[in-house]
Amino acid sequence: MNPSFTANNGESAANEARRQAERMADTASDTASRATSTARERADQAQRWAKSRWSDLQETVESQPYQSTAWALGIGFAAGLLLMGLLRGRR
C-alpha cells in the first residue's frame, strides 16, 4: 500500500473538492442573481421608454389631427398596396 495515500488524504481531498464545489455554486448563484436584477432593470427602462413614446405620439396626434389622419391614411394605403401585391403574386 502506498503510504502517501491514506484514508485521511482521501477525506481531505474530498473535503477540498466539496468546498470548491460550494464556492462555485455560490458564485453561480450570485451571477444569476445579478443577471436577473439587470434584466428586470432593463425591462423597466424599456417599459418606461415605450410609455413615454406612446404618450408623445398621443400628444402629437391630438395637437395635429389633420396631419395625423393624412399619415394614417397614407400608411394604410401603402400597406394595402403591398398586401394586394403579395396576394396577386401567389397566383
Q: How does residue 35 score in pLDDT terms, banded at 50, 70 and 90?
A: very high
Cell (9 digits) for 26? 455560490
Please tell me what DSSP assigns to residue 91: -
Q: Is the pLDDT at 7 greater than 70, yes or no?
A: no
User: Where in the sequence is the domain holding 62, given as residue range(s)?
Assistant: 7-89
Q: Is 1 inside a domain boundary? A: no
Q: Is 2 inside a domain boundary? A: no
Q: Is 49 inside a domain boundary? A: yes
Question: What are the tens digits of pLDDT across the range 52-89?
Answer: 999 999 999 999 999 999 999 999 999 999 999 999 98
Rounded to the nearest angstrom, the gap between the alpha carbon of residue 6 and the centroid of all alpha carbons in its chain is 52
Q: Is 24 inside a domain boundary? A: yes
Q: Is 65 inside a domain boundary? A: yes
Q: How does residue 47 score in pLDDT terms, banded at 50, 70 and 90?
A: very high
Calpha distance 36→44 (Å, rounded): 12
**Domain total in the chain:** 1
Q: Is 13 inside a domain boundary? A: yes
- Tell me, what's the pLDDT at 12? 85
Surface-to-core class of residue 68, CB atoms within 10 Å of its CB (0-12 exposed, 13-18 middle, 19+ buried): middle
**What's the predicted TM-score (pTM) here?**
0.50
- Tell me, what's the pLDDT at 8? 76
Half-sphere exposure of 57 (CA within 13 A, CB side): 9
Please tell me what DSSP assigns to residue 5: S
